[in-house]
């Protein structure tokens, strides 16, 4: 007679197979995904923990602490498996994958829309009433849904866009029409100013902030997160794995999990949305739900920080004051990270780079007599700009 342990293992495998087959039949199962299913079925342990939820500020939404950043996910099945395991907040944007990302999310949420919350974004350049309404209507259509849970103004680099009257007018109308439930913003540059402006806004117009937050963050951003969270702003963390650089050279340590745990140990942060391309990344990331941040994680992060120090840019923008030609060094470096970090997404990298005015790209450095921009983290800016020209131009 089989032991109860073994029975449990068989039941778990059966559960995994049955649970995933249930969703996959409704979707396309590409070879990579089928391989992942086989690998999972061959293990005795479920790779998925019990999900943990926190409340997203004054929205009151209860969302999984590891939620889904969909920007890099080419297969809807991966998102669907996450949903089946209790991940209930999906972050996307029409801008990602040249507009295809919302289509992928639409496939993943078919039939389970009522179980999840969808966050998407207006285009970064949209500010007028007509532009905001157009963006939301397009996203609704593409996502195949009648409402967006959190619509976010994309990529704020200062306080100005928070207070544009036309933008607010459009969002208020969309809320009245039931097309949007809550409004938020996203920021990965000058984050402290954006967060403080949200906290100080007397109208309390915006409810959430998706903010770059990781173990390399500076104190001003941490303090601003505290202030914004105290004011009821729901805080969602992105860029949590510091570029997701390949760390195989570090002897197989799981620095990515440690980085995620570091973020989630802050109770001011409701959730993180790591970008998950495939089943391997999904398992790695959602496994941390409920895990404490330990001393060993600190050691791992020290080693990770040391390994990425020669090339990791925090996008602080401090060096830009030293460039007489106005090169947007932080955005050029962000685009480079999309190409060469864990993202490995050359189209996202090129699209990000192409959004810059030509004079703010690394092309402006070609005949510069000598780089006068100084990195507070010791990066060789001139070399980074040269690398960007060869990879992104």
Residue with Cβ nearer ligand SF4 (223 or 376):
376
Question: What is the spatial distance between Cα 169 and Cα 33, in angstroms, rounded to a whole number?
Answer: 44
Starting at the earlier edge strand, list the strands of the sheet with 68-69.
Answer: 68-69, 89-91, 117-121, 148-153, 180-187, 208-212, 234-238, 271-272
* 182 three-class SS: strand
Nearer to ligand SF4, 290 or 326 (CB): 326
234 φ, ψ (degrees, to nearest 5): -75, 125
Instruction: Considering the complex, state which of residue 10 and residue 376 has its C-beta at the smaller distance from ligand SF4.
Output: 376
Interface with ligand SF4, residue 106, by CB under 6 A? no
The rounded distance, in Å, linking the Cα atoms of 339 and 391 is: 8
Interacting residue with ligand SF4 among 199, 282, 319, 335 (CB under 6 A): 319
Helix (H, G, I), strand (E, B) or coil at 139: helix
Q: Minimal distance in Å, beta carbon 307 to ligand SF4?
A: 16
Q: How far is the CB of 359 from ligand SF4 (least distance, A)?
A: 10
Q: Would you say 256 and 285 are in contact if contact means Cβ atoms under 8 Å apart?
A: yes
Nearer to ligand SF4, 123 or 385 (CB): 385
**What is the footprint of ligand SF4 within residues 326-365 (CB under 6 A)?**
327, 329-330, 333, 364-365
Please check whether residue 362 is in contact with residue 389, taking contact to mean a CB–CB distance below 8 angstroms. Answer: yes
- Least CB distance to ligand SF4 at residue 95 (A): 22
User: Considering only residues 371, 387, 388, 392, which one is a binding residue for ligand SF4 as defined by CB under 6 A?
Assistant: 371
Asked if 381 interacts with ligand SF4 (CB under 6 A), we say yes
Q: Specify the residue, 103 or 320, whose C-beta has the smaller distance to ligand SF4.
A: 320
90 versus 327: smaller Cβ distance to ligand SF4:
327
Taking a C-beta distance cutoff of 8 angstroms, is the pair 306, 92 a contact? no
Report residue 56 as tokens. 């997203």
Contacts with ligand SF4: how many residues (CB under 6 A)? 26
Cα 129 to the chain's mean position, in Å? 26
Rg of the chain in Å (alpha carbons): 21
- The residues, ordered by sequence, that sit 6+ positions from 308 with a Cβ below 8 Å of its Cβ are 242, 243, 245
Q: Which is nearer to ligand SF4, 137 or 218 (CB)?
A: 218
* Host H or E run for residue 74: none
What is the number of other CB atoms lying within 10 angstroms of the CB of residue 10? 12
DSSP output for 183-198? EEEEESSSHHHHHHHH
Smallest distance, ligand SF4 to C-beta of residue 324, A: 6
- Min CB(385)–ligand SF4 separation in Å: 5
Q: Compute the least distance from the CB of residue 362 to ligand SF4, in Å.
A: 7
Kindly tell me which of 24 and 368 has the beta carbon lying closer to ligand SF4.
368
In the complex, least distance from residue 379 CB atom to ligand SF4, rounded to whole angstroms: 5
CB of 52 to ligand SF4, least distance (A): 32
Which position among 318, 344, 355, 363 is part of the footprint of ligand SF4 (CB under 6 A)? 318
What is the contact mask toward ligand SF4 in residues 168 to 207, using x (rule: CB under 6 A)? ----------------------------------------
Contact of 286 with 66, CB cutoff 8 Å: yes
373 binds ligand SF4 (CB under 6 A): yes
Burial degree of 23 (CB within 10 A; 0-12, 13-18, 19+): buried
Residue placing its CB nearer to ligand SF4 in the complex, 296 or 376: 376
List 118, 288, 375, 388, residue binding ligand SF4 (CB under 6 A)? 375
Q: Residue 279: left if φ>0, alpha if ψ -120 to 50, beta else—which one?
A: alpha
Half-sphere exposure of 382 (CA within 13 A, CB side): 8
Binding mask 295-314 for ligand SF4 (x = CB under 6 A): ------------------xx
Closest to ligand SF4 by CB, 100 vs 325, is 325
Cβ atoms of 44 and 12 within 8 Å: the answer is yes
Interface with ligand SF4 (CB under 6 A):
313-319, 323, 325, 327, 329-330, 333, 364-365, 368, 371-373, 375-377, 379, 381-382, 385
């Amino acid at each position: 007679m089989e032991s109860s342990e073994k029975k449990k293992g068989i039941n778990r495998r059966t559960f995994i197979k049955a649970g995933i087959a249930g969703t996959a039949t409704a979707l396309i199962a590409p070879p990579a995904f089928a391989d992942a299913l086989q690998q999972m079925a061959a293990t005795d342990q479920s790779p998925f923990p019990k999900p943990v939820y926190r409340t997203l500020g004054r929205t009151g939404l209860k969302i999984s602490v590891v939620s889904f950043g969909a920007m890099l996910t080419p297969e809807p099945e991966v998102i669907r498996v996450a949903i089946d395991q209790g991940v209930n907040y999906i972050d996307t944007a029409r801008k990602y994958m040249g507009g295809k990302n919302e289509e992928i999310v639409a496939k993943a949420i078919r039939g389970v829309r009522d179980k999840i919350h969808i966050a998407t974004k207006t285009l970064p350049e949209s500010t007028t009433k007509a532009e905001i309404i157009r963006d939301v209507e397009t996203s609704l259509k593409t996502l195949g849904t009648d409402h967006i849970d959190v619509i976010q103004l994309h990529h704020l680099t200062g306080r100005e866009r928070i207070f544009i009257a036309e933008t607010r007018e459009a969002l208020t109308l969309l809320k009245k029409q039931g097309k949007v439930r809550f409004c938020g913003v996203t920021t990965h540059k000058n984050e402290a100013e954006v967060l403080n402006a949200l906290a100080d806004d007397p109208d309390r117009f915006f409810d959430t902030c998706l903010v770059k937050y990781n173990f390399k963050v500076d104190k001003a951003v941490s303090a601003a997160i505290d202030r914004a969270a105290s004011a009821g702003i729901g805080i969602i963390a992105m860029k949590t794995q510091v570029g997701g650089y390949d760390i195989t050279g570090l002897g197989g340590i799981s620095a990515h999990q440690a980085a995620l745990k570091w973020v989630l140990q802050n109770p001011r942060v409701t959730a993180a949305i790591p970008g998950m391309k495939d089943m391997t990344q999904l398992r790695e990331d959602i496994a941390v739900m409920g895990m404490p941040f330990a001393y060993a994680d600190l050691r791992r992060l020290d080693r990770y920080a040391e390994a990425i120090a020669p090339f990791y840019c925090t996008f602080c923008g401090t060096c830009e004051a030293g460039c007489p030609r106005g090169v947007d060094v932080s955005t050029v470096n962000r685009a480079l990270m999309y190409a060469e970090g864990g993202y490995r997404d050359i189209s996202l990298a090129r699209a990000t780079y192409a959004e810059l005015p030509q004079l703010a790209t690394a092309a402006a450095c070609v005949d510069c007599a000598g780089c006068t921009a100084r990195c507070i983290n010791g990066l060789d800016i001139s070399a980074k700009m040269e690398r960007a020209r060869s990879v992104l131009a």
